[in-house]
Chain A
Amino acid sequence: MSFVTSERRTLVMKRPSTISKHAKAALWLPMALAVSAAAQAEIHFNGFASVGGGWIDSDKKDSTYLGYGEEPTFDPDTVFALQASADIDEKMSVTGQVVARGTDNYQAEFSWAYFSYKVQDDLTVRLGRFRTPFYLYSDYLEVGYAYHWIRPPVEAYSIPFDSVSGVDVVYQTAFGYWDNTLQFYYGGLNDEYYQNELKTDLNVETRHQTGLAWTLSRDWFTFRMAYHRANITIDQFDDAINKQLVAAGLTSAVAGAVTAPMAIDETLFEFYQVGFRIDWESYLLAAESTRFEPQDGPASRWDRWYVTAGYRISDEVMVHTTYAKAEDNAANMASRYSSPTLAAIAASALSNLADDKESMGLGVRYDFRPGAALKVEWTHVDDHRAGAADADLYAFVVDVVF
C-alpha cells in the first residue's frame, strides 16, 4: 500500500532534556487523579527501556533505513516507558503507559491508557487507548526485552499507526492445555505519521476501525490470525503527490488533473494476518504473513511476510536470523483517467510508493544480567525499486525491564 512505506523518522531538532521530564509529569496527572479516586488502590509500577545506536553502509549517498544514516545515531531504536496500573477492586483496573521515543524527540506520550473491567474470569472489557492488535508481536511491539530482535522486521511490521482508541473485548478460554484468545475491538484514531517516500507528515484518520484477532496456543506453540477493517482518510495524500509532480516539472494544471482522483477519503481498507511461533527448548521459529488492502483508490496493496529462526547456545546467548519481504502491488487507477498520458503519469507517481524490498538479518541476544539484554544485529536490505540502493545496517541495543 502506498501511503506509508514508513521508516521511523529521525528528527534533527533537539530540545532540552528537561522538557520531556515535565511533559511526563503533566501526562501523569490525569492518571494520578483517576487512581487517587480509588483510595485503597494498589499501584504497580513497571518500566522498560531500550537504548541503542547504529549506522548504515549504502552505495547511495544520503540513504536512510529505519531512521539510521551513514553517521552513527542513537535515536531510532531508543525508547523509555513507564507503566502504572492500579486495581480499583477485584474487577476494575486502570493502566497507563507513557512512552518517550527517540524517533519522537523523546516527547512522552500515552501509548496505552485504559480502564479495564473483568466481566467474568474469561471475559475482559477495556475502554481507552491501546495497541492495535495487527501482528503477532503487536501487544509488546516496543518491549524489546520480550523478543529476540532489536525490533520486529520493518518490512513486515509496517503500519505506522499502531494504537487505537475505543473499546476492546478479550475472551480467553482453555480447552484442556490449549489456550484460546479472541480479541475484538472497535474504535478509531487521528494521528500523524511521516511518509518516507513523500518526505512529509501526513494526517491519518480512521473511522469504524474494527478488528478480530484469534490466538491459539499451548506451551511452546502459538498460532494467530487477525482481520481488521477501517475507513481511512488521509487528507494531504493527493496534495503531497501534487507537490512532487510540480517539483518534477509538471505544470500545476497537469499535476492537478493527475492527482484529482487520488483522494483517500473514507476509503475502506482491510488487513489480514496469519502467523505462528514455535519456542521449543533451544529453538525458536516464527513466521507471519500480512496483507493490507484498500478497496480502491491510489493506495497500493501491501503483501508482507517474514520468517525468523533462533537457537539458544546457552541460557544467556541466542543467535538468530530473519528474512523479511515486502512485495506491494501499486494501485492501478487507469480506469479513472480519460487520457492514457495522465494515467501513465499517475502510475509512475504511485509505483514508487509500492515497496519492493527484502531484508536478511543476523543477530545475537545476550542476557547479561537479569532483566537486561544486549543485542547486536546486522541487516542487509535490498530495495528493488528504481533508483533505490542496497544498504547494510549495523545496530545494537540494550533492553531492560524493571
Chain B
Amino acid sequence: MLNLRTTAIVAGLLLSSSVLADIAIIVSPASGVSTANTEDVARVFLGKSKEIAGAATLPLDQAEGSPAREQFNEKILHKSQAQVKAYWSKLIFTGKGTPPKDVAGDDAVKAQVAADPKAIGYIDAAAVDASVKVILKM
C-alpha cells in the first residue's frame, strides 16, 4: 500500500503533479459546513441542491479543460467532460438550470471562497492554506 502510494507520488512528480494530485473541496472558514461526502458535493455542483447539511452553498467551477476541473469531474461527479456538458445542456435548454460560474485558477477560487461564506470550490490539495476550510479531500 505504502509502496503503491510512493510510486504514485513519484510518478506524479515525474509526469505532471496535477494528474495525480488530490483535490480539495473548500469553503470559507465562516461556512456552516465542516464535512461533506462526494454525493453532497456532486449534488451542489450539478444544481440538484443548494445546501449541504442545511448550510447554503454557491458552487464555483474551474475552467473547462483545466486539470482541477478534470479531476473534479472524475473523482466527484464520476462523469467525463462530455457527459457533464451533455448534463448541463439538458437543463439549459429547458430553462431548468444553469451551470456554476467558472473561476480561473486555484488562487482565484481560494480568494472568492475565503470572501464568501456561501461559496464552495475545489482546488489542488497542495494549494490549500489557512484562508479556506477543507470539507472533503479526494
Contact = CB atoms under 8 A, between A and B. Distances in A.
Interface string A137-172: 001100101110000000000000000000000100
B137 interface: no
B48 interface: yes
A174 B52 CA distance: 12
B75 interface: no
A139 B98 contact: no
A145 B48 contact: no
Interface stretch (A13-21, A60-68, A328-336, A365-373): A365-373
Given A121-B50, A147-B86, A401-B89, A95 B42 contact: no
B18 to A, nearest CB: 17
Interface residues of A, number: 35
A93 B90 contact: no
A230 to B, nearest CB: 21
A97 interface: yes
A112 interface: yes
Given A139-B90, A177-B39, A219-B42, A370 B95 contact: no
A140 B90 contact: yes
Main secondary structure, interface of B, reads loop
A370 B65 contact: yes
Question: Most B CB atoms within 10 A — which of A48, A81, A145, A281?
Answer: A145
B96 interface: yes
Given A46-B93, A371-B85, A401-B92, 5 more contacts: A81-B93, A95-B95, A139-B96, A316-B80, A370-B82
9 contacts: A46-B92, A48-B89, A116-B95, A146-B89, A281-B78, A312-B80, A315-B80, A370-B64, A373-B82
Interface of A: 44, 46, 48, 81, 83, 85, 93, 95, 97, 112, 114, 116, 121, 126, 131, 139-140, 143, 145-147, 170, 174, 177, 179, 219, 281, 312, 315-316, 367, 370-371, 373, 401
